[in-house]
Amino acid sequence: MMFLEQKYHLMFCFFLALLPFASVGQSHKNISLGSSHTAQAGNSTWAVSPSGNFAVGFQQIEENGFLLSIWFNQIPERTIVWSANGGNLAPKGSKVELTSDGFFLLNDPTGNRIWSAGSSGSGTSHAAMVDTGNFVLASQSTEYLWQSFDHPTDTILPGQVLNQPSTLVSRYLETNYSSGRFKFILKDDGNLALYTTQYPWSSSNFNYWSTHTSGSDFSLVFNQSGVLFLRANNGSIISMISSKTASTQDFYQRAVLEYDGVFRHYAYPKSSNSNTRSWKMAWSTVYYLPPNICLDIREDYGSGACGFNSYCTFDDGKKSCHCPSGYSFIDPADVMKGCRPDFDSQSCDGSSPETDLFDFYEMENTDWPLTDYEYFEQANEDWCRQDCLSDCFCALAIFRDAGCWKKKLPFSNGRKDPSFQAKALLKIRKDNSTSKCEGPVRKKDQSKLIIVISVLLSSSVLMNLLLLVAGFSVVYWWRSKSSKANQPSQSIVGTCLRSFTFEELRKATNGFEEVLGQGAFSTVYKGVSFDPTWSHIAVKKLNNMVKENEEEFKTEVSTFGRTNHRNLIQLLGFCNEGDHRMLVYEFMSKGSLASFLFDTTERPSWFQRMQIALETARGILYLHEECSTQIIHCDIKPQNVLLDESFTAKISDFGLAKLLKIGQSRTNTGIRGTKGYVAPEWFRNMPITIKVDVYSYGVLLLEIICCRRSFEANAENENQMVLTDWAYDCFHERKLDLLVKDDKEALADMKMVEKYVMLSLWCIQEDPLLRPSMKKILQMLEGSIDVPAPPDLPSLITTISL
Ligand SMILES: *[C@@H]1O[C@H](CO)[C@@H](O)[C@H](O)[C@H]1NC(C)=O
Ligand SMILES: *[C@@H]1O[C@H](CO)[C@@H](O)[C@H](O)[C@H]1NC(C)=O
Ligand SMILES: *[C@@H]1O[C@H](CO)[C@@H](O)[C@H](O)[C@H]1NC(C)=O
Ligand SMILES: *[C@@H]1O[C@H](CO)[C@@H](O)[C@H](O)[C@H]1NC(C)=O
Ligand SMILES: *[C@@H]1O[C@H](CO)[C@@H](O)[C@H](O)[C@H]1NC(C)=O
Ligand SMILES: *[C@@H]1O[C@H](CO)[C@@H](O)[C@H](O)[C@H]1NC(C)=O
* CATH number of the domain to which 14 belongs: 2.90.10.10
Tell me the residue range of the domain where 393 lies.
311-429
> What pLDDT is recorded for position 178?
94
Residue segments in the chain with a per-residue pLDDT below the cut of 70: 1-29, 352, 431-497, 520-521, 533, 543-562, 628, 655-656, 659-665, 668-673, 792-802
* Sign of the alpha-carbon dihedral angle for 583, 653, 641, 460: negative
- To the query of whether residue 635 is one of the catalytic residues in this protein, the response is yes
- 436, part of any domain: no
Q: Whose CA is nearest to atom 7 of ligand 6?
A: 344
Residues 13, 44 within the same domain? no
Nearest to 255 by CA among 150, 156, 151: 156
Mean pLDDT for the chain overall: 81
Residue 469 Cα to ligand 6 middle (Å): 37
The ligand that comes nearest to the alpha carbon of residue 336 is: 3
> Which residues contact residue 275 at a Cβ distance below 8 angstroms, ignoring those fewer than 6 apart?
247, 250
> What pLDDT is recorded for position 594?
93
Residues 199, 259 within the same domain? yes
- Asked whether 358 lines ligand 2 (CB < 6 A), one says no
Q: Residues 131, 260, 342, 635: which is the catalytic one?
A: 635
The ligand that comes nearest to the alpha carbon of residue 142 is: 1
Which alpha helices (H) appear in 733-782, and where do they start and end? Answer: 744-747, 750-763, 774-782
- 794, part of any domain: no
Distance between CA 11 and CA 7 in Å, rounded? Answer: 6
- Domain end call among 532, 566, 586: 586
The ligand that comes nearest to the alpha carbon of residue 95 is: 2
Nearest to 290 by CA among 386, 163, 419, 196: 196
How many domains does one find in the chain?
6
Residues 536, 644 within the same domain? no
Paired strand residues for 515: 525
Which burial class, exposed, middle or buried, applies to 132 when counting CB atoms under 10 A from its CB (0-12, 13-18, 19+)? Answer: buried
In DSSP notation, 63-95 reads TTEEEEEEEESSSSS--EEEESGGG--B-TT-E
Q: Check which CATH number belongs to the domain holding 545 and give it.
A: 3.30.200.20
Residues 408, 349 within the same domain? yes
What is the best residue among 342, 344, 429, 565 to mutate for testing ligand 6's pocket, by most ligand atoms within 8 Å of CB? 344
> What pLDDT is recorded for position 295?
93
Q: Check which CATH number belongs to the domain holding 619 and give it.
A: 1.10.510.10
SS3 label, residue 607: helix
Distance between CA 664 and CA 77 in Å, rounded? Answer: 61
- 632, part of any domain: yes
Model confidence pTM above 0.75:
no
Residues 71, 211 within the same domain? no
- 380, part of any domain: yes
Residue 312 Cα to ligand 6 middle (Å): 28
- 304, part of any domain: no
Strand 263-269 versus strand 284-289 pairing type: antiparallel
- 435, part of any domain: no
> What pLDDT is recorded for position 558?
60
> Which residues contact residue 703 at a Cβ distance below 8 angstroms, ignoring those fewer than 6 apart?
597, 638, 709, 710, 723
Q: Whose CA is nearest to atom 8 of ligand 5?
A: 236
Q: Whose CA is nearest to atom 2 of ligand 6?
A: 432
What is the best residue among 211, 213, 236 to mutate for testing ligand 5's pocket, by most ligand atoms within 8 Å of CB? 236
In DSSP notation, 500-569 reads E-HHHHHHHTTTT--EEEE-SSEEEEEEE-SSTT-SEEEEEEE-------HHHHHHHHHHHHH---TTBP
- 284, part of any domain: yes
Distance between CA 39 and CA 270 in Å, rounded? Answer: 29
Residues 402, 447 within the same domain? no
Residue 35 Cα to ligand 2 middle (Å): 11
What is residue 595's DSSP assignment? H
Residues 420, 453 within the same domain? no
Q: Whose CA is nearest to atom 1 of ligand 5?
A: 234
> What pLDDT is recorded for position 756?
94
- Asked whether 90 lines ligand 3 (CB < 6 A), one says no
Residue 438 Cα to ligand 6 middle (Å): 12
Nearest to 290 by CA among 272, 264, 322: 264
Residues 88, 218 within the same domain? no
What is the best residue among 9, 30, 45 to mutate for testing ligand 2's pocket, by most ligand atoms within 8 Å of CB? 45
Distance between CA 170 and CA 258 in Å, rounded? Answer: 5
Residues 674, 740 within the same domain? yes
Residues 122, 193 within the same domain? no
- 302, part of any domain: no
Distance between CA 574 and CA 473 in Å, rounded? Answer: 12
- Domain end call among 131, 154, 177: 154
> What pLDDT is recorded for position 195?
95
Residue 220 Cα to ligand 5 middle (Å): 16
Residues 13, 37 within the same domain? no
List for the chain the helix, strand, coil content (%; round to 5). 20, 30, 50
Residues 271, 188 within the same domain? yes
Contact between 336 and 405 under an 8 Å Cβ cutoff? The reply is no
Strand 498-500 versus strand 571-577 pairing type: parallel
**Position in ligand 3 atom list of the atom nearest CA 200:** 4
